[in-house]
Amino acid sequence: ATLFVDPLPTVRGDGPQLALLFEHLIGNAIKFRTPGLPLEIRIEVQRGDCEWIIAVSDNGIGIEESDQDIFELFRRLHAQDAYPGTGVGLAICKRIIERHGGRIWVTSTSSAGATFCFTLKDG
């Protein structure tokens, strides 16, 4: 994988939890990559009104449109035999962000990658 990272802001928060957040989002990008396509992951930062907006994007398989909340505990969008995992990673991400007073969401097009965005209060 090739990882492109904007300079990250200084924020007030729990360092190990924020590291776990990035571990889950980058891990998902690696897990759900498109076979035969070099994986690219981008971490981009924008300044919001009293917060930072951070986006973790990839060029993987994407997420098909669904009415399911992918941030719900044990929510899986793929069969267990297709991709390993327990369905708790994104639920953990949501809880970490909520504990830090932010919000998290995803935009995606099937077969064109996914972008997970979240906010963190200005440090």
pLDDT in tens, 30-75: 998 999 999 999 999 999 889 999 999 999 998 876 545 777 754 5
**Over residues 13-30, mean pLDDT:** 96
Alpha-carbon torsion angle 11, 90, 65, 57, nearest 10 = 40
Contact 103, 120 (CB under 8 A): no
User: What is the predicted pLDDT for the residue at 74?
Assistant: 47
How far, in Å, CA of 2 to CA of 102, rounded? 28
Q: Please state whether beta strands 104-108 and 51-58 pair in parallel, antiparallel, or not at all (unpaired).
A: unpaired
How far, in Å, CA of 89 to CA of 21, rounded? 9
How far, in Å, CA of 14 to CA of 28, rounded? 21
How far, in Å, CA of 121 to CA of 94, rounded? 15
**H-assigned helices in 50-115:** 89-99
Q: Which residue has the tokens 């990839």?
A: 58
**H-assigned helices in the chain:** 15-31, 89-99
In this prediction the pTM is 0.86
